[in-house]
Structure 1
Amino acid sequence: MNYQETLDYLYSRLPVFQNVGARAFKPGLHTTRALCESLGDPQNTYPTIHVGGTNGKGSTSHMLAAILQNSGYKVGLYTSPHLKDFRERIRINGKCVGEDFVISFTDEIKSNIERFNPSFFEVTVAMAFKYFADHKVDIAVIEVGMGGRLDSTNIVEPIVSVITNVSLDHTQFLGETLSEIASEKAGIIKQNVPVIVSEYQSQEVAGVFINKAQDLDAPLAFGSQVYQVKNQGISHGLAQIYARRDNSDEPGQQLRLDLTGSYQTKNLAGVLTVRDMLVSLGWKIESEDVSQALKDVVSLTGLKGRWQQLGHRPDVYCDTAHNIGGLTDTIAQFTSLPHERLRFVMGFVKDKDISSILGLLPVNAVYYFCEPSNLRALNATDLATMAARYGLVGKTFQNVNEALKQAIAEADDADIIYVGGSTFVVADLDQL
């Protein structure tokens, strides 16, 4: 098979969550363990950092990878889902896995695919682990797919576990309350392995992590209690960040970050705390390496779709935020920008309760309802009907590019346009 035939085989043979939702969800680690055992357990041949949480785990993973890479290490990075190219999921020092490896790996495990009947995600996790082992990475940053306890990535034995935060998302799989979801996220905490939680959100959620860490003798720190991180505005396309360790006599740091979403201050508190933990474990990461890496996360790692500006006059922003926690932050940042009129290009998947999200959106804005190009897409007409109950009125479009084109055509230079609602809407953008 060539590369395209290999992808066609993987997509047709294996259930893909982004396309079919619940039918692709396979809770449990036994299949991933069996796949990796057949490959010689490659995930045990290099140290890993395991990153979970509801929002911010992708940004956190990319920032950590950039910092380690800029410190001279050969860094594997596994994230999901991809936006444009399947190979985005598996990178070493920012470079995507080669097509030849995808072909050869798939051919190698074909018999085990037929034997174990894994999900698409389980195969991609095993592929990443094997690729990193074959290329002898110094360390790998592994992002959790969903939840934590039963996520396929949870067969790793990391040197540090990271949990960004907890919000209501995938409630049909992870639980209806924040404490239930936190329990699933806490499943990545391992015996005697340090765990960093980026945000102290509430006593209820923090208590879940504290109790789990105590049960496993895992040293625990909350990034937001270790570092004060303040966004002092954007200059020359970079967020100007002041970061200072709490209860420290040392002066704070002035940092510049190319990820300019306001929510990144929460992620950065966790990232800086992880960096300190890695240093205590013997990893050489100088302050200068951190400063330089944070300016260049996008170029070092290839991250896309996080508060990314796509156009000027009118200013166009997109973001992959897709749940109540993430969209609360991005919509607040968007509406705070100077503007004449707000325009929203929005689309969602149909297996999410979006009522709370629609309630966030301002009535005094212009809406362009669209749908992502996957099987889980919420029909744009159905979305418009739902939105109308919240006083949100707009036109419908079959895809995001048509919707954005119309929004730009109708906008004045002083208007601003937001594109989002779903990772898959952002992924469909031609301009990304």
Structure 2
Amino acid sequence: MAKYFIKLENNTYEPLGTPGHGFNGWVPLSQAYGTVPNKGSDGWVIDEQLALATGQNASDLPNLVTRDINNAADVNRDKSTGFYAMSGHVDTTGHRTGPRWYIRSTLNDPAKYPLTLSLQTFVTKILFSNSTSTPTAIGVEYMTGSDLYSASPRHKNTTRPAAQQAFARREVIVSGGAFNSPQLLKLSGIGPAAELAKFKIPLVKDLPGVGENMADNYEGSILSLANRDLVDTAGQVVLFLNTGKTSNRNIYAFCGSFSFEGFWPGYPTDYGAGEYECALVLMNPKSQAGYVRLKSADPLDTPDINFRFFEKNGDEDLQELLDAMKIIRSGLQKVKGDLAPFNELHPCPGVGQNCTDEAQKEFIKTQAYSHHPTSSCAIGADDDPMAVLDSKFRVRGVKNLRVVDASAFPVVPGAFPVLPTMMLSEKASEDILNDAKVAA
């Protein structure tokens, strides 16, 4: 997949032509989140102890915290641990970029690409031909109007707009995400036969994997208050860890003077200028048992979404997160000067940290949060009964229908699936164009 990363990247921080990077793609990537801490500054003092706690050469801190996190030419990258510069899909001013920017640029391109963008348009069903032996997608049914979907807080149960139809000359591509792609397939008759029968949805293709196999990164944090206000922390830095449970690194942490504990109205809680957090992401979690199931045959209803966190191999995942927090805590406890001692807020409150492993695991389990769902329409092999898609994103058992979004990943792709999803879309584009050439 590295070639798709190079194709889409517009790197802004490495010299032009650096191996493992692209410089002409549509996604600007930069290191706009942080800088090298000044020697002796608060950021330096903390990073120095975290470096020692993770077996790094603390005297080489300026080089460690600027290491390139996205070098596709580094064959050992997935085994490398320690500090890295935080790179993101942002421009050099720190503004996020992505598909929205790409779509707007395409619409504004003087080449006049034949792209139509329909806002306030809600697809309710995929249409299939009645004249083919194999079900063949020919278009979609949709409604137009604002806040039609009941997930919107502005949704109102008013008169529904009349259904309209749009037809495809070649194929239908669904990109509804890990929640809405499986919902749309099911509403259109593709999914577990028993579930569709329950809602009297005519069966087009029995695919038991639609809406199953959903997973996500577990995310948590170790949050503390320094003994005084923090100044000059130089922004955020990445810390990759291997807690010894896997051959590859298994924890992605980003650390700095911030508070990020999850998602709720009004988040985040501001604990003042002394707050210091390492937010942790468990890469490649062992649990992959979530689901997206229908609550009704009404396309405007939200589905039943349940990640079933920690229900499968949960203790193994919890132990990996706890081990990472212990490593970070050991570094913070060795910080010298008037920054110390750090008063931990969670998962083990206080200065002395006298919590049991069980208590900390319970906190992690109840407070773990998520916002990177994947794998609910997973790619799989021909002999996999739960496979929804083939390797070219085609929905199995039907024609002219693909799903191209994060639901296609068979497993969670690392720590932050935004860039992998963009890479996946590049591969899908290549597959679609190549298939079009063959058909022509």
TM-score scaled by structure 2? 0.24
Question: Which one has a bigger Cα radius of gyration?
Answer: 2
Structure with more of its chain in helix, by fraction = 1
